[in-house]
Chain A
Amino acid sequence: MLAIYKKEVKSYLTSMVGYVFMAFILLILGIYFTAYNLNYATPDFGATLSSVTFIFLIITPVLTMRILAEEKKNKTDQLLFTSPVAVWKIVLGKYLGMVTIYVIPVIIAACYPLIMGKYGTVSYPMAYTAVIGFFFLGCANIAVGLFLSSVTESQVIAAVLTFGVLFCSYVMNGIESFFSQTAVSSMLAFVVIGIIIAFIVYQMTRDAILTGVVGVILVGVTVVLYFVKSSLFEGAIQKVLDLLAIANHFDNFVGGILDVTGIVYMLSVICIFVFLTIQSIQKRRWS
């Protein structure tokens, strides 16, 4: 695992990609920092960080697109997966390598509140809670990119997929507002989701009976629950969609709350996507 980690960090630092990644974060953050905190003189560094979360849409694909797609394309994955190292160690080594590259600009950003402190009163706990939140947000986004890089051979497709998924997550607040808050519309949305899940099951297993059972159970439970206790469904689809909006869970950190549920949420996103990456690699070997 250490060998992979070292190789990844080194390859980011000897090619353009790592520097472009770091420079871009620092550039955008620097512009906002200058505008808000220096020119406008607000002491709130969290607000600056929260207004630059859009950079992850552009910057995450840059970092993650090659991580597994390139290995597959150049057939170097043959070296990795025939070496005496378990797949999860390879994936984790790669992930931690990317996180290390991401930590560098975060550490530099962590110096900004100190600069502000020279010229006025700054609430350091608030600022650093936001920095911690910003760090976790980036890690979660990188995990998503890692997974999407493992599903394709082409770096371009990996980058576009990552951008698309992160963009959907970013505008999830807007998507939520498409749905009305009533219980009926929530119930219908869940029925549709249940049917989609059944369809995915069919795509993966080609087993009509299993698909039927899964579909009937999901739809049946939804409908029965609706008739038993319809209040459960009020605003439920919004709650579910909110889980997909990674950046929303960053808001509490900005307010200066060291939000444990937020940290747990980010860590779960990381674990789920690292796990999915391992599974997608294993699946390719078995098919």
Chain B
Amino acid sequence: MIEVRNLVKKYGNHVAVDHLNFTVEKGKIYGFLGPNGAGKSTTMNMITGYIASTEGDILIDGHNILEEPEKAKKCIGYLPELPPLYQDMTVMEYLKFVAELKSIPKAEIEKNISEVMSTTKLEEMKYRLIKNLSKGYKQRVGLAQALLGYPEIIILDEPTVGLDPKQIIEIRDLIKSLGEKHTVILSSHILSEVSAVCDHVLIIDRGRLVASDSPENLSKVMTGANSLELTVKGPEEEIRKALDMVDNIEELIYHESMVKDACDFTVKIAGDQDVRENIFFALAEAKYPILKMQSTNMTLEEVFLKLTDSGEEKEDAGDI
């Protein structure tokens, strides 16, 4: 669907995007993740053809964005960081203007607008001036604008910034439902959002792609092996003995517990097996009750920090 090859953007001497390579497949939701100033918006602006790249190619459905801009742009609906709204228009006038701009056939305009308005829940605001709308509604008008004409690719730059928690959940659900029919790319620096919504995460730092995988795989890969957090009531030695009976336990690390008469363990498990049931039965047989058992995959937050921090260290080392 989208192919980005060797993309570079320089502003004077500052390299905003540094040899970026990735492909976006059809019908998935992609999350663009990175700290502020990582080059997310710049990359999105280049994909949508708002600014030109210094080097490299972007192919949208086989069309180069710089050589066949009209064909390529036709496949894309874009919601920039700041929704591009004309404050003196009503919602209806604005959407009509965008529909005409995207040259949607006249017969379909009415139907298309009313469908888009119902997906973004804008019907009540139809005849209100955009300047009088709240931030959340403005964001929705921006989203409605991107959806008009049902382009195959929808690109959203930080779609939930400035919304209240209820609206955030609504917009997330909306994005999820969009993912069924469209290819969606969204950028964010909120990790929970990305892990909740996206099928695939691209992490960028300082204009470079540092990771590209599904959110589950990313957290798994980063921890290396599976491990469990365990709190058991009983003396350490006895529990160790009981757990020796369970296969596939690689290592058992003891921590002092906050609970009285109990022990905390970190259990490292070899391979991909699920040994939770075995642990339960082993301890049940020895009559040591399990107070807590939890798998410790690294959260996306930790993965993100680790990836973006290690980049920093590398760079510092390079400077020396």
Which of B81-89, B197-205, B252-260 touches A?
B81-89
Interface of A, helix, strand, loop or mixed by DSSP: helix
**Cα distance A183–B238 when bound, in Å?**
111
Contact bitstring A53-90, B, C-beta under 8 A = 1, else 0: 00000000000000000000011111111111110000
Is residue A131 contacting chain B, with contact meaning CB distance below 8 A?
A: no
Is residue B145 contacting chain A, with contact meaning CB distance below 8 A?
A: yes
Question: Which chain B residues lie closer than 8 Å to A285 at the CB level?
Answer: 50-52
Contact bitstring A1-31, B, C-beta under 8 A = 1, else 0: 0111011000100110000000000000000
Question: Which chain A residues lie closer than 8 Å to B52 at the CB level?
Answer: 285-286
Is residue B101 contacting chain A, with contact meaning CB distance below 8 A?
A: yes
Contact bitstring A147-176, B, C-beta under 8 A = 1, else 0: 000000000000000000000000000000
**Cα distance A76–B50 when bound, in Å?**
11
Which of B19-27, B69-77, B222-230 touches A?
B69-77
Is residue B103 contacting chain A, with contact meaning CB distance below 8 A?
A: yes
**Cα distance A120–B88 when bound, in Å?**
48
Is residue B127 contacting chain A, with contact meaning CB distance below 8 A?
A: no
Q: Do residues B76 and A82 form an inter-chain contact, with CB atoms below 8 A?
A: yes
Which residue on A lies nearest to B87, using beta carbons? A74
Given A2-B100, A81-B49, A84-B102, the answer on whether A74 and B84 have CB atoms closer than 8 Å is: yes
Of B51, B78, B84, B87, most buried by chain A (CB within 10 Å of CB) is B84
Is residue B48 contacting chain A, with contact meaning CB distance below 8 A?
A: yes
Q: Do residues B50 and A81 form an inter-chain contact, with CB atoms below 8 A?
A: yes
Interface size on A, residues (CB 8 A): 24
**Cα distance A81–B78 when bound, in Å?**
11
**Cα distance A11–B84 when bound, in Å?**
16
Question: Which chain A residues lie closer than 8 Å to B103 at the CB level?
Answer: 3, 84-85
Smallest CB–CB gap between A92 and chain B, Å?
14
Which residue on B lies nearest to A79, using beta carbons? B84
Which residue on B lies nearest to A86, using beta carbons? B70
Q: Do residues A76 and B101 form an inter-chain contact, with CB atoms below 8 A?
A: no
Question: Which chain A residues lie closer than 8 Å to B97 at the CB level?
Answer: 3, 6-7
Contact bitstring A122-152, B, C-beta under 8 A = 1, else 0: 0000000000000000000000000000000
Interface size on B, residues (CB 8 A): 28
Q: Do residues A86 and B69 form an inter-chain contact, with CB atoms below 8 A?
A: yes
Which residue on A lies nearest to B142, using beta carbons? A79
Question: Which chain A residues lie closer than 8 Å to B88 at the CB level?
Answer: 11, 14-15
Which residue on A lies nearest to B65, using beta carbons? A82
From A74, A78, A85, A286, contact of B101 by CB (8 A): A85
Q: Do residues A4 and B101 form an inter-chain contact, with CB atoms below 8 A?
A: yes
Question: Which chain B residues lie closer than 8 Å to A76 at the CB level?
Answer: 84-86
Contact bitstring B3-46, A, C-beta under 8 A = 1, else 0: 00000000100000000000000000000000000000000010
**Cα distance A286–B45 when bound, in Å?**
12
Question: Which chain A residues lie closer than 8 Å to B145 at the CB level?
Answer: 79
Given A14-B88, A15-B88, the answer on whether A82 and B50 have CB atoms closer than 8 Å is: yes
Smallest CB–CB gap between A220 and chain B, Å?
34
**Cα distance A234–B101 when bound, in Å?**
53
Q: Do residues B84 and A78 form an inter-chain contact, with CB atoms below 8 A?
A: yes
**Cα distance A286–B76 when bound, in Å?**
20
Question: Which chain A residues lie closer than 8 Å to B98 at the CB level?
Answer: 79, 83
Of A7, A15, A74, A86, most buried by chain B (CB within 10 Å of CB) is A7
Interface residues of B (CB under 8 A from A): 11, 45, 48-52, 69-71, 73-74, 76, 78, 80, 82, 84-88, 97-98, 100-103, 145
**30 contacting pairs across A/B (C-beta < 8 A):** A2-B100, A3-B100, A3-B101, A3-B103, A4-B101, A6-B97, A15-B88, A74-B85, A74-B87, A75-B82, A78-B50, A78-B78, A78-B82, A78-B84, A79-B98, A79-B145, A80-B101, A82-B50, A82-B73, A82-B76, A83-B73, A83-B98, A83-B101, A84-B69, A84-B73, A84-B103, A85-B101, A86-B69, A86-B70, A285-B51
Q: A78-B80, A79-B101 are known contacts; what are 10 more A-B pairs with Cβ within 8 Å?
A: A3-B100, A3-B103, A11-B86, A75-B84, A79-B80, A79-B84, A82-B50, A83-B73, A85-B101, A285-B52
